[in-house]
Amino acid sequence: CDTCATGWTGAQCDSCAIGWHGSLCDVCPKGLSSGCSLPIVAILSGSACAESLALTSSSLSFSSSPYFSTTVMNTKVRKLEQLSYSTSFSTVALRIVYDFQRSDRSLYSHFYYASRYGISVYMTATVYNSAGNAIDTTSTTVNWRFSNGMGGPPSYLASGGSFSADDGIWGFYNSLSATVDGNSLSSYCLQHNSGYKRYGVENCNGGDSECSVLYLGSSTSTHKRSVVYVVNS
């Protein structure tokens, strides 16, 4: 009995897998079927999370190469969910939920306002050990900008080019109302905030080679890949 049944995950199959809910994890969220797969907006790697993250007008799967899919840019999005994997073990090392706290904006609009002005995002990060057990959970509200140098977000079904013109952060540090901005040499990047718990991956005013560092709260690991889902339930 070392394999989780459909819809379950975790060391003892005691939590619902991505895309499942219900008391027995046997109910798909509204609008989802056939394994309850959620739309994937981005696949990140240790060498592509911003400037080197190419655009595609095709849908992504879990095994896709690093891309940002523009198929959901016109979709109204309440939440994103990021699952990050370390080279240290094959299971999920980090989960980040981005709660935009509103359902009336498209994904394009979220990135447009984030890069220009910053938007309030309620972030929740959970760090897991190699057995799949949660060992740290942190939540806070930040002023998320991703990068004020990313340029205009890609439009619906755009392809070619890169997701960001300059830098970017997929994550946060746990300082209430802190600004999180990858295009900065000051205090807005993860690497410049060692006094706080830090979560995610970033290109901090440099190149996408910096995406190789996975921030796991009070520690770091080598980033293998991250999968970013659209979650509206």
pLDDT, tens digit, for every residue of 103-132? 999 999 999 999 999 999 999 999 988 877
Q: What are phi and psi of 81, to 5 degrees?
A: -130, 125
Q: How many CA atoms lie within 13 A of 14 on its CB side?
A: 6
Q: Is a pLDDT exceeding 80 seen at residue 212?
A: yes
Percent of the chain with pLDDT over 70: 93
Q: Report the predicted TM-score, pTM, of the whole model to 2 decimal places.
A: 0.88
Half-sphere exposure of 58 (CA within 13 A, CB side): 9
pLDDT for res 132: 77
CA atoms within 13 A on the CB side of 233: 16
What confidence tier does 224 reach under pLDDT thresholds 50, 70, 90? very high
Burial of residue 20 (number of CB atoms within 10 Å: 0-12, 13-18, 19+): buried
Q: Please tell me the distance from the alpha carbon of residue 101 to that of residue 142, in angstroms, as a whole number.
A: 12
Distance CA 158, CA 73 (A): 9
Residue 220: pLDDT over 70: yes
pLDDT in tens, 141-151: 999 999 999 99
